[in-house]
Chain A
Amino acid sequence: MITKVTIAWLPIQINLINTLLVNELREELQNLKGDHTKKGVKTCRHCILRYKKSKKILNIFIGDLNLVSGNFEQSTFAELYENWPRMMLDQKKSGISFSIQHYVDRQASGVGDICGKITFLSITQDVGIFKNNIMVHMCPSFPENTENDNSQSNIHGNAQSFLEFYPTIPADNNFLMNLDDNFWKYFREQEKKHFEAPDYFDSKSDLSIKKESQIEQESQSFDKMKAYILLMRKKNTLKELLKDFEVGTGARDYEINRFLLKANEISINLPTPRDITTILNVSIH
């Protein structure tokens, strides 16, 4: 009987301990909040914990880093190349390339083939105490022979279909150097740029108009090996604790998770009408 009573009390005890822990954490966070309002504090513990501190940084690169950055050898990413002599890597192969081919009697017919290529893709995840952010950069896909061969014909004399993807937002030139320890700062800058809407009630200054036109020009002049931001995801974690922890004008920022995915154009070109039927045939089979 005594055992039963103990078991019955156990969940209540656990709840009590949890509540005490949460209250303790809340008090600690309130102390840190004091750091933020104090003048002369250079390293604000509130800001470090809220934005900077990372528990895990994950970087997945698909493609050769040499194609997007000339000075990545100064970063820890260079260690990824330690076991590979440069000669082994073929830059023409860089990135993701896929082809869907139609075979007839064990031979590639060349009709209805679809090819696609993304020269470079990077996925960065930053997991902190109050954050779980993701950012994806990419260099767009281009048909390999577009510049030299406008007919886009393969060795069979048949034209190939290309799946093309064009993102919108140009990334910084040295974005690769920002994907390691400085990622939090880079993400914060991009967050302010793309997530926080400008105040349209204020009259626009000449400087902001100039900046906008510059961004428009940059997006129009498409550079082959220039990297673009494809996706951004900002996710706040432990929102209940953040509730009392936030300070300043963006005090309700903790409530909102944000997601951005921008593509200028996604297209597939089919050179001949019979390609449509062949592609459908491959898909159905």
Chain B
Amino acid sequence: MDEENERDRFEKKDFTEPTPILNTQLSVNIYDVIYEHHPFHAEQKIHVLVPFIEVNIHNHLFVLLEVLEAFNAVGKDNPQKDEKKNKSVIRPVFIASDNQGNDSLAPDTN
């Protein structure tokens, strides 16, 4: 019965809903001692508790990262007119581009 219920739930699930990439909780306590250079106690104690971290990565995320990388590269530097003088121009590289193999985006060194 449990398996059937689970299957029903799966079939009714709306897959157009955004998938959470990260789900977590955090608790931090920081202690500073009153007496500095105390022979026994540490001068500072930091305790961090993360009860759970759930990370879900799917292949659409790789495309999103690629787009962000492209925007970042375009925003930073405008390509110079004379590329021979400035060979270190950063240009966006489309990792998943179908034409990547044939049309190289590397600056012309001739």
Write the residues of chain A forming the contact surface with B, with a CB cutoff of 8 angstroms. Answer: 43, 45, 48, 52-65, 76-77, 79-81, 83-84, 89-90, 93-103, 106-108, 155-156, 180-181, 281-282, 284-285
Contacts and interface: CB of A to CB of B under 8 A. Distances in A.
Interface in B1-33: 3, 6-7, 10, 15-16, 25, 27, 29, 31
B52 A80 contact: no
Contact of B27 (A83, A90, A102, A108): A83
B34 to A, nearest CB: 15
A61 B7 contact: no
A108 B15 contact: yes
Given A93-B52, A181-B41, A76 B57 contact: no
Interface centre among B39, B43, B58 (most CB of A within 10 A): B58
Interface residues on chain B, size class: 35 or more
10 contacts: A43-B39, A55-B42, A56-B42, A64-B52, A76-B47, A77-B47, A80-B47, A99-B55, A101-B57, A155-B6
Nearest to B49: A80
Q: Find the residue from B47, B48, B60 having the highest chain A CB count within 10 A.
A: B47
B57 A96 contact: no
B56 A58 contact: no
B51 A103 contact: no
A98 B57 contact: yes
Instruction: Tell me the interface secondary structure of chain A in the complex.
Output: mixed
Q: What 3 pairs between A and B have smallest CB-CB spacing?
A: A54-B42, A80-B49, A93-B52
Most chain A CB inside 10 Å of its own CB: which residue of B29, B41, B50, B52:
B52
Nearest to B10: A155
Given A100-B57, A103-B59, A80 B29 contact: yes
Contacts of A84: 25, 27, 51
Contact of B44 (A45, A55, A77, A106): A55
B54 A98 contact: yes
Given A60-B50, A61-B49, A107-B15, A100 B43 contact: no
Nearest to B62: A285
A180 B58 contact: no
Interface string B49-86: 11111111111101100000000000000000000000
A100 B53 contact: no
B42 A59 contact: no
Given A94-B51, A97-B54, A103-B59, A56 B27 contact: no
A103 B58 contact: yes
Contact of B49 (A65, A97, A103, A281): A65
A282 B63 CA distance: 11
